[in-house]
Amino acid sequence: MSDTQKDPWARFRGATRARIALGRSGDGLPTRALLEFQLAHARARDAVHSAVDFDRLAADLAPLETIRVHSAAPDRPIYLRRPDLGRRLDPASAATLSGGEWDLLFVIADGLSAAAVQVNAAPLVHACAARLPHLRIGPVVLAAQARVALGDEVASAMGARLVALLVGERPGLSAAESLGVYLTWDPKPGRADSERNCISNIHADGLSIQTAADKLCWLATEAARLKLTGVALKEDAPSLAGPDNEKNQLTDRS
């Protein structure tokens, strides 16, 4: 008897990281499944509460210039309880930013997964910079205790036409290191989520760095040409070949 005949759910478990057909032990889960769930939950909690090592991140981004800023949330507990403070710069950081003439600005925000930022942010920025030699790219801004909308204030102060904010996504029980990117044309405080394009699920078992870079650079080039982002900008790029193609995700979140 084949393994599939013994366990008809085996082929489904092989195609997804979702927890399906885990079995049971009495009226509870089998010990292995329970321990794996507890481990995944612990990793998700660690991702939310851990801090990004910004010194290491700046080193990983070299030779690109970096600037550091902080949101109005003074620490992690307040950041988690007050999302509004994570969307605004603190006055001291705002005073350090000076205007320029940039086509594109990368802002890296810790968000809700330090692990996602530590592992994926620098490789993605390097991959994009190599693909966009025709754009004037500003210094990479490293933002602590930051949420998506903080990128609008930063980019507006620095005179960028387009901002790509990389942020650690809220961890799930199957992926604690997922990075998201939010692209916004003409960034300024008050922009709605419908005015952004989002590329999500960037991690080792999701969207690869190279595929995410291809998508982001295509969108950035089209945004600069059409002078818009959000629900009005749809991805019409040719299909991208690669082993992760079926896992690619591009969504407009409004």
Residue ranges for the binding site for adenosylcob(III)alamin?
A: 148, 169, 198
The answer to whether 168 and 107 have CB atoms below 8 angstroms apart is no
Which of 48, 49, 82, 54 lies closest to 67, judged by CA?
A: 54
Amino acid at site 37: F
Is residue 253 within 8 Å of 165, Cβ to Cβ?
A: no
How many whole angstroms separate alpha carbon 208 and alpha carbon 211? 5
Contact 142, 69 (CB under 8 A): yes
Output the six-digit token pair for 202. 């960037």
Assess contact for 127 and 60: CB atoms under 8 A: no
| 209 contact partners, CB below 8 Å, separation of at least 6 | 120, 123, 124, 127, 202
DSSP 77-100: HHHHH-TTGGGSB-HHHHHH----
Binding positions: 148, 169, 198
